[in-house]
A and B are shown apart, each in its own frame.
Chain A
């Protein structure tokens, strides 16, 4: 099984130096994970490193094709609270 980077990647380089398997390439239009090399960080780290630093929700999928960082997981604001939070921020 392997992780995958999809087109919402912004090429920020966060993941590339962290990968214990050197599976990530700084490709264009976006970074890619070599599916053959990715170990899911198994044996190296408790958390997959690429998905633990990636700043873009949804940019990295796990072995089952599910986003590791779903909407709201990185901003800390669940989608159902978005409208209310926005109103609070706009009132500042």
Chain B
């Protein structure tokens, strides 16, 4: 089970103005602008959704329960010894729960952590290959906690036949993993499917899977259910094809297309892992995400979190919710729901307050110091900055302790300086290159490789040696903005480098990829 989330201590409206913790100073601003482009009914749905709204994910929590063990297809990047790789990092094993246990656990967590808004079933297999278990869980939760949104993820094979029932159970969004719309490509990803009581191999199976995915997507969109599409980027297999996938699924009405990297290591025992299929580099991934997501920065904060972590971002409270402890808890459903309503009201008030301070993230370029007075350049070069943070919207992490960096891009457009969040890059949980992970490479070198394409690195502090190594790699280290809101700090560093004329040449760090 997973509760991934997302908050620092809950802000009260009174404490919000000027507080430096949390995202109170407009530090997580730009997502609201991206959301503003969506139709109203979709915007309302994603507003409180920690998985979709980059801003909401600082305030609200979600959790997964593992009730659905079986799967009806084979993906080449998955080893069924472990959880569904579409929804979890490879190699993770969740504790399988019965629907009754899952319901009890969800209610317990939602009582203890009132920021909980979303309950998802995402495995350990395909939820819709286990319809009784999945639907029993949803049925009981709709009854006992009608304020909690339900979501489900699927490979899509069984989706069309279940759309009707899904819609009965207060399920407001569905994630479908769609890796291709061409059976020939599909056959390289899915060796077989189980369909109408038979195993169907190769292209024939892939064609059926693709048809079912597209049909299910259409049916859900026709009924106004929010649909997100995930794709796994597999270099040399579907990398170029994903642009076509993106076009097709958006035309059908998917509101978001999220491209995730293939993670394939021999030790995970998947076909791709054993065969040596490589995953994409951070640069390849980002380029595709840019093309497929268009202007929508939502989901960029997706960390492909472990499906069984419990707690706020950066902590794990799983130990508080073991089956024994949950069984012993006495939960007052009504009181818990009331408390959630109160907490949400507080969060919403504080978010509304933040909205007003949002203009801070856009800094007029006219305020930049320039050596020669001249009109602002029509377009200054875009620059990317990696930020070390524990997730609260401020720069609060030591370089050496960062297990991931958030990458922001600053651009000067017209008179405004725009800072937008691009992606989170993991440092040490997996290495991102095929043969680049030799033993000789130390951790710092790996970290620097992770920062490929960035101009600078912002962190709360940084040691002398890493400082020198970063500079040698052509990156600009900066520890001067500790505890400042990320976007403000990125804007400030960008402004500084622009004024010093250091942004014209592309970052030398790219040389690492040669």
Distance, CA A52 to CA B408, complexed state (A): 48
B 275-313 to A, binary, CB cutoff 8 A, 1 in contact else 0: 111100000000000000000000000000000000000
Measured CB to CB, the nearest residue on chain A to B81 is A10
Main secondary structure of the interface of A (DSSP, over half): loop
- A92 touching B199 by the CB < 8 A rule? no
The complex places the Cα of A26 from the Cα of B9 at a distance, in Å, of 43
Known interface pairs A13-B69, A74-B74; A92-B236 also in contact (CB < 8 Å): yes
* Contact yes or no, B80 A56, CB < 8 A: yes
Contact of B80 among A10, A46, A75, A92 (CB under 8 A): A10
Given A75-B191, A89-B275, CB of A12 within 8 Å of CB of B71: yes
CB distance from B168 to the nearest CB of A (A): 22
Using Cβ atoms and an 8 Å threshold, which residues of chain A touch B145?
none
Interchain nearest-CB distance for A88 vs B (Å): 9
Asked whether B72 lies within 8 Å of A75 as measured between CB atoms, the reply is no
Quote the shortest CB–CB distance from B274 to chain A (angstroms). 9
Q: Evaluate contact between A52 and B275: CB separation under 8 angstroms.
A: no
Task: Bits for A2-42, please: 1 = Cβ < 8 Å to B, else 0.
Answer: 00000000111110111000000000000000000000000
Cα A86 to Cα B276 with chains together (Å): 7
Interface size counted on chain B using CB atoms at 8 A: 29
Which residues of the other chain, B, contact A13 by a CB distance below 8 angstroms? Answer: 69-70, 125, 130
B81 near A52: Cβ-Cβ < 8 Å: no
A52, B276: Cβ atoms closer than 8 Å = no
**Distance A47 CA – B191 CA, assembled complex (angstroms):** 18
Nearest CB of chain A from residue B206's CB, rounded to whole Å: 11
Shortest A81–chain B CB gap in Å is 12
Q: Please, which residue of chain A has its CB at the minimum distance from the CB of B197?
A: A45
Q: Which residue of B lies closest to A82 (CB)?
A: B275
| Residues of A in contact, count (CB < 8 Å) | 25
Q: Given A12-B81, A16-B70, A53-B72: A89 and B197 within 8 A (CB)?
A: no
A45 surroundings in chain B (CB, below 8 A)? 197
Q: Is A55 an interface residue (CB 8 A)?
A: yes
Q: Is the CB of B199 within 8 A of A52?
A: yes
Q: Which residues of B have CB within 8 Å of A49?
A: 197
Q: Mark A53-90, 1 if CB is under 8 A from B, else 0.
A: 10110000000000000000011100000000110011
Q: Which of B71, B201, B202, B277 contacts A92 (CB 8 A)?
A: B277
Separation of A50 and B199 alpha carbons in the complex (Å): 10
On whether the beta carbons of A12 and B70 are closer than 8 Å, the reply is: yes
In Å, the complex CA distance between A18 and B125 comes to 15
User: Which residues of the other chain, A, contact B191 by a CB distance below 8 angstroms?
Assistant: 74-76
Q: Which residues of A contact B466 (CB under 8 A)?
A: none
CB of A32, distance to nearest CB on chain B (Å):
16
- The minimal Cβ–Cβ distance linking B263 to chain A, given in whole angstroms, is 15
Within the assembled complex, what's the spacing in Å between the Cα atoms of A17 and B69?
A: 10
- Across-interface contacts of A14 in B (CB, < 8 A): 70-72, 80, 125, 194
- For B82, give the chain A residue with the smallest CB separation: A10
Q: Which of B192, B201, B236, B277 has the most CB of A within 10 A?
A: B192
Q: Say yes or no for B163: interface residue by CB 8 A criterion.
A: no
> How many Å from the CB of A9 to the closest CB on chain B?
10
A90 touches B70 (CB 8 A): no
Interface positions, chain B 219-250, Cβ under 8 Å from A, are 235-237
- Known: A12-B125, A13-B125, A55-B74. Contact between A76 and B201, CB under 8 A? yes
State whether the Cβ of B41 lies closer than 8 Å to any Cβ in chain A: no
- 0/1 string, B53-75, CB within 8 A of A gives 1: 00000000000000001111010
17 contacting pairs across A/B (C-beta < 8 A): A12-B70, A12-B80, A14-B72, A14-B80, A14-B125, A17-B130, A46-B197, A47-B199, A49-B197, A55-B74, A74-B74, A76-B187, A76-B201, A89-B277, A90-B275, A90-B434, A92-B235
Tell whether, in the assembled complex, residue A76 and residue B202 are in contact, meaning their CB atoms are under 8 Å apart: yes
Question: Inside 8 A of B198's CB, which chain A residues have their CB?
Answer: 46-47, 52
| Ranked 8 nearest A-B pairs via Cβ | A92-B236, A13-B69, A10-B81, A12-B80, A90-B276, A13-B70, A52-B199, A53-B194
Query: Which of B72, B79, B80, B275 is within 8 Å of A86, CB to CB?
Result: B275
